[in-house]
Amino acid sequence: MTLPVRLWEHDMSVRFQTRINMSDEDKLTMFHARKLVFIDQYGWDIPTYDGGPFEMDQYDHERALYCTGYEGIASRYSVRLLDRDDCMVKDLWPAFLEYIPQDAIEVSRFVTHGTKSLRFNRASIELFHYSLRMKGNRPDFFAVATEKMARAFSIALDWTPTQVLTIDAYPDLRLLLWLQD
């Protein structure tokens, strides 16, 4: 599914695709950007990381859906979308599940690719919001983050959660919920 949109003078589109349907170039761009951000910048210890130039984990399976934003033919951002019953939260932080609607989608591994211009990032963010609204048959989303990452996520994506929960089982993590009224 491709959604075209024109923001400022950027000719942009968004695609929802699986890893299987994604071009090799887009996969390499996405997984390399994730390695730069999550391994190099944030220093995450990801058990499946093999020391190479790409970051992939067990949730990058054939059922994962990727929302990828394009400027012309170049991919500019990607985010992984997982069904609640097939996501990281279910396996790693199951105590959060009781707070998540059954049909919600997990948002994880958001990264930008390429240009760092503020103007383009604003366009990327607007396209991200637009594409998720267009995917409206499942309007509720969730993510898990540290407090620092939760603030950064809200600021960077201009997407303030409708609820932020902390529970005793995971005191250093926040469950971010974007729920429709």
| Percent of the chain's residues with pLDDT above 70 | 76
How high is the pLDDT of residue 118? 43
Could you tell me the pLDDT band of residue 67, with boundaries at 50, 70 and 90?
Answer: confident
Report the C-alpha gap between 82 and 105 in whole angstroms. Answer: 6
Mean pLDDT score across all residues of the chain:
80
How high is the pLDDT of residue 95? 93
Centre a 10 Å sphere on the Cβ of residue 91 and count the other Cβ atoms it contains.
10
Q: Is the pTM of this model over 0.85?
A: no
How high is the pLDDT of residue 181? 63
How high is the pLDDT of residue 131? 66
Rounded to a whole number, what is the distance in angstroms from the first to the last CA of the chain?
26
Decide if pLDDT at 34 tops 60: yes
Residue written as token pair 């887009």: 26
- The 10s digit of each residue's pLDDT in 120-129 is 556 666 666 6
Average pLDDT over residues 59-76: 85
Decide if pLDDT at 177 tops 70: yes
How high is the pLDDT of residue 8? 46
**Strands (DSSP E) found in the chain:** 2-7, 10-17, 65-71, 74-83, 105-112, 141-146, 163-165, 173-178
Decide if pLDDT at 116 tops 70: no
Report the C-alpha gap between 153 and 175 in whole angstroms. Answer: 12
Decide if pLDDT at 11 tops 80: no
How high is the pLDDT of residue 123? 61
Could you tell me the pLDDT band of residue 89, with boundaries at 50, 70 and 90?
Answer: very high
Q: Indicate which CATH number applies to the domain containing 143.
A: 3.40.630.30
**DSSP state for residue 57 in the 8-state scheme:** -
**Choice among 1-15, 55-69, 123-137 with the minimum mean pLDDT:** 1-15
Q: How many domains does the chain fold into? A: 1
Torsion of CA 12, 14, 19, 24, to 10 degrees: -10
Average pLDDT over residues 66-92: 86
**Full residue range of the structural domain in which residue 150 is found:** 2-178
